[in-house]
Amino acid sequence: MELSTLLLEMSALLTLAVLLGLVARRIGAPLSVVLVVVGFLAAAVGLTPEMGRLEGEAFEEVVVFLFLPVLVFAAALGIDLRAFVRNLGAIVALATVAFLVSAVVVGLTLHWVLGTALAVAFLFGALISATDPVAVVAVFREVGVPRRLLTLVEGESLLNDGVAIVLFAILVEAATGGSVSVAAGVVGFVTVFGGGAVIGIVLGLAASAVLPWLGRLPAAGLSLATAYGSFVLADAVLGFSGVMATAAAGMVLAGLAPSRASAEVREMWEQMWDALDYVANALLFLLIGLVIGPAQLLDHLGPITLAVVVVLVARALAVVPLVWLLERLAHIPRLGRRNEAVLVWGGLRGGVALALALALPEELAERDLLVALTGGVVLATLLLNATTIRRLVSRLGLDRPSRADRYLVAIARVSAIEAARQEMDDLGLTPDPRTGAELESSAREAQQEMAALDVDEDEEYRIVVGRGLHVERRTYQELSDEGLLPPAVTRTLLHEVDDEIDDFSLHASSHRLGATRRAPSGRLEEVSRWLAGLLPEPAGDDPGELAYAEATARRLAARRTADALEIFDDLPAIRQETVDHARRTFAEWEQRAIAELDELDTRSGKDAHDLRVRQVHSLATAASSRELAELVETGLLPEQVLKSTGTARADHPR
C-alpha cells in the first residue's frame, strides 16, 4: 500500500469521524459506538477502503504500534498517579487475579459446551478477558464517573492489557503444539511484564530530568518521543511489554510534571494529548468496524451469542468476589455495590483483542472460530455496554454531586462575583444598573441554594476543610509556576496536601486535619521520592535555600487558607464553631512555619539576611518576567525584548 494512498484514506476516515461526531452528539450516543457501527455497515455493503482490508499481522501492527502507544500514553498522562498508587493493590488484583479468573471461566465454558481443545479455549479466554484501554478509557472519559472508580477502571485497563498480550504469546505456543512449562511461563510473564515497567520508569525519569529547561514545543516533541520510543524499545527491541513501558513512562511524567514542568507545558500537554487521543480513537474504532466481517459473524452466530453471555457473566464472577475479599482482607476503602456494578458493566473489549485474534497463526485449526468470537464479543460490548453505561451511572446516582459538592460550587459562584466587583472597584469602574442587578441576583440565588441544602455536621466539616485544602494546594502550585519554589520543595508540599485531600475525601467524618502529613511515608512513597530526588534541580539544591523556601511557602499557604475561610462568615448553613475549628488548625500551621523560619534565622546567622534578599529578588524577577511576557503576547513589545532580558521563550528552535 503506497504512502500517498494510506495518507489519503486516513484523511478521509478522519473527516468521516468528525462528521459522525456531530451525529453522535445529536443522538446522544458514544462516538466510539457510532464509528464502529458505520464501519461495520460499510464493510457489509462492500465499501471498504484499503486500510479496512488489513488482516492478521498487518492489523496487529497498525493497532499495536501506531495507535496503542498514543492511547496508552494519553491515558497514563491523564491518570491521577497518586490515586493510582494508593489503589495499586486493588488495581493489580483486578488486572491479574480477576483477569485470570475470567479467562479460566470463559475457557472452561468454551471447552465444555463447544468441545474446543482446552489450550485453544484458554487462549480465547486470555485474549478476550482484558478490559481494553482503547475502548474503556474512551467511553469512561465521556461518561463521567466518581474519581476513585475512574482510577480503578483506567488502572486495571492499562495493566491487564499488558497481562493479556504477554499471556497470549505463551498460550499461542501451547495451542500450536509447543512445550510450555508452568514455571517457565511464570518466569517469562514476570520478566516481560516487569521489564517493560522498568524501561518505562527509566525513560520517564530521563524525560523528566530535562523538563525544567524546555519550552512548550520542545516538551511536546519530547512527550511524543517518550510515548513511541518507550513502546518500541521495550516491545520490538528488548522483547518486553511495550504497553507497560509506555504506561509507566506516562505515569512518571504525570507525577513529576507539577514540579518540573511549567504551567504552559502542562496545559499544552493536556490539549495535545487530548487531540491525539481523539484522532487515534476515531480512526481505530472505524477500523474495528471495517475489519469485523459480517459474513463471519452470521456463520458463527450461535457460538458468538454463547461467548458474549459467558464473557459478561465471567466478568461479574471475577470482580465481585475479588472486591469483597479485598475489602475484608486487604482493608481497601469500601467500593460499594453501585461502583461494583459500573466496574463490572464497564468491562468493554476493543481493538487489542481483535488485533490479537487476527494475529493468530494460520495453522491453528480453530482460528476462524476465534476471530469470529472475538469480533462478536467486541461488537456486542460496544453496542450493549457502551450505550447503556451512561444510563446505568445515572440510574445509580453516581453522576449526581453530593450536597457538600453543590455547596462548594455555590461558594465558587459567590467568590467569582466578589472578585468581579473587586476588579471593577480597583479599576474605578461603576457597573451599569443592569450588570449590577445581574450580579446581585446571581449572588442571591447562590446564597438561597446554600441555605436550602441543609448540610449536616460531617458535610459542614467537609465543605470548610475542603475549601481550605484547595486554597493551600493552589498556593503551592502558583508559587511553583512562578518559579519561586524549587522542584524538590514543590514535590514535598504537593505530596503532603494531596495525601491530606485523599484521606479526607475517604474518611471525612473521622479524619483529623493534619494527621496525614505527620504520619510516616509508605515504602512505595519513599521509593518514588528517592527516584525523584535523583533528578537535577534547576534552582540549585542549597539546603539553606530549600529550607527557607519550604517554610516560607508553608507560612504563605497557611495565611491564605485562613483568609479564604472568612467567606464562611457571611454564608448560611455553616456553623461558626466548625469554621473556627478549621481556622485554628490553619493558624497553628502558620505559627509553626514562623517558628521554623525563626529557627532557620538563628542557625544561619549572618547568612539569613542574604537568603531573604535572594528570595525577594527571585520574586521580583519572576513578576517582571511575567509582565514582559504578557506585553509581548499582546503585541505591545517585540519578542526581542525577552531575549535581551534573558527570559526568551524556548518554544521555537533557533
- In degrees and rounded to multiples of 5, residue 113 shows phi and psi of -85, -45
Q: Say which residues have a Cβ less than 8 Å from residue 402's Cβ, sequence separation at least 6.
A: 459
Question: Looking at the chain, how many residues does it have?
Answer: 654
Evaluate if residue 219 carries a pLDDT over 90.
yes
Look over the chain and give the mean of its residue pLDDT values, rounded to a whole number.
78
**The overall pTM is greater than 0.85:** no
Name the residue with cell 524546555.
Answer: 214
* HSE-CB of 210 using CA atoms within 13 angstroms: 15
pLDDT of res. 272: 93
Q: Say which residues have a Cβ less than 8 Å from residue 95's Cβ, sequence separation at least 6.
A: 155, 156, 158, 159, 160, 163
pLDDT (tens digit per residue) in 577-623: 888 888 888 888 888 888 887 787 777 654 555 555 555 555 445 54
The whole-angstrom separation of Cα 437 and Cα 412 is: 19
- Strand, helix or coil for residue 486: coil
Taking a C-beta distance cutoff of 8 angstroms, is the pair 529, 491 a contact?
yes
- Strand, helix or coil for residue 454: coil
Name the residue with cell 445581574.
Answer: 438
pLDDT of res. 640: 53
pLDDT (tens digit per residue) in 233-254: 998 888 888 888 999 999 999 8
pLDDT of res. 332: 73
pLDDT (tens digit per residue) in 158-201: 888 778 888 888 888 888 777 666 677 778 778 888 899 999 99
Evaluate if residue 647 carries a pLDDT over 50.
no
A 10 A CB-CB count for 518 gives 8
Report the amino acid identity of residue 228. Y
The whole-angstrom separation of Cα 420 and Cα 426 is: 10
Q: If pLDDT is split at 50, 70 and 90, which confidence band does 637 have?
A: very low
- Residue 221 cell numbers, joined: 516533541
The whole-angstrom separation of Cα 364 and Cα 378 is: 21
Domain 55-278+295-363 sits in CATH at 1.20.1530.20
Taking a C-beta distance cutoff of 8 angstroms, is the pair 496, 553 a contact?
no
To 5 degrees, how large is the angle CA 294–CA 45–CA 382? 45
- Distance, CA of 280 to chain centre: 17
The whole-angstrom separation of Cα 62 and Cα 54 is: 9
Q: Say which residues have a Cβ less than 8 Å from residue 174's Cβ, sequence separation at least 6.
A: 119, 123, 180
pLDDT (tens digit per residue) in 297-317: 888 889 999 999 999 999 999
pLDDT (tens digit per residue) in 385-438: 888 887 887 788 776 777 777 888 888 888 788 777 777 787 777 777 777 788
Evaluate if residue 12 carries a pLDDT over 80.
yes
The whole-angstrom separation of Cα 506 and Cα 510 is: 9
pLDDT of res. 629: 57
Instruction: Compute the average pLDDT of residues 144-159.
Output: 76
- Strand, helix or coil for residue 108: helix
Q: What is the 3-state secondary structure (H, E, C) of 308-373?
A: HHHHHHHHHHHHHHHHHHHHHHHCCCCCCHHHHHHHHHCCCCCHHHHHHHHCCCCCCCCHHHHHHH
Q: Say which residues have a Cβ less than 8 Å from residue 522's Cβ, sequence separation at least 6.
A: none
Q: Say which residues have a Cβ less than 8 Å from residue 130's Cβ, sequence separation at least 6.
A: 99, 157, 160, 161, 163, 164, 349, 352, 353
pLDDT of res. 623: 46
Taking a C-beta distance cutoff of 8 angstroms, is the pair 260, 487 a contact?
yes
Percent above pLDDT 90 for the chain? 13
The closest of 258, 330, 272 to 81, measured between CA atoms, is 258
**DSSP secondary structure code for residue 131 in this structure:** P
